[in-house]
């Protein structure tokens, strides 16, 4: 009976010898959209879109910003840290190819950062913005 997207606070309690005792710690419980894969990074919860195919870096950000998926339209191309957190959680998120994925970070006019999901390598190469790498968009839950 809990509502998706709503925040609840819970505390534990016990009854012993007819007396109730409550914990002093309050736990935050957020009901997430279970239809979307998610991961936690930097204390925030992120949803992950389905694979959006292979695109140049020039097109990747626009693919995410124009995405409307699962009732949300606030998708964006992840930064290096978010992309690495996706790699670290790739098995629980699912749907990744052993391929390179774009992030929105750049290194000069012609180079952009990417991560190879076959081995975890993260880097940038000169003149790589025209390469066709995979795109997975993210959005923050909070």
DSSP 90-134: HHHH----SSEEEEEEESSSS-EEEEETTT--EEE-TT-TTS-EE
Q: pTM of the predicted model, to two decimals?
A: 0.77
Residue 16 pLDDT? 80
Residue 6 pLDDT? 57
Residue 4 has pLDDT above 60, yes or no: no
Average pLDDT over residues 104-131: 94
- Name the residue with higher pLDDT: 5 or 115: 115
Residue 56 pLDDT? 97
How far CA 71 is from CA of 31, 75, 95, in Å, comes to: 15, 11, 20
pLDDT in tens, 40-94: 999 999 999 999 999 999 999 999 999 999 899 999 999 999 999 999 999 999 9
What percentage of the chain exceeds 70 in pLDDT? Answer: 86
Residue 65, classed as helix, strand or coil, is helix
Q: How many CB atoms lie within 10 A of CB 51?
A: 15
Q: What is the DSSP letter of 69?
A: B
């Amino acid at each position: 009976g809990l509502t998706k997207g709503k925040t609840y606070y819970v505390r534990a309690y016990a009854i012993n010898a007819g007396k109730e005792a409550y914990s002093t710690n309050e736990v935050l419980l957020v009901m997430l959209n279970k239809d979307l894969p998610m991961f936690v990074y930097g204390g925030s919860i992120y949803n992950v879109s389905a694979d959006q195919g292979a695109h140049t870096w020039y097109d990747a950000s626009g693919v995410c910003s124009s995405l409307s998926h699962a009732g949300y339209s606030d998708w964006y191309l992840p930064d290096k840290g978010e992309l690495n957190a996706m790699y670290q959680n790739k098995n629980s998120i699912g749907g990744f190819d052993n391929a390179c994925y774009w992030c929105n970070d750049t290194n000069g006019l012609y180079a952009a950062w990417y991560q190879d999901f076959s081995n975890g390598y993260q880097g940038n190469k000169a003149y790589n913005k025209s390469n066709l790498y995979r795109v997975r968009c993210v959005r923050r839950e909070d």
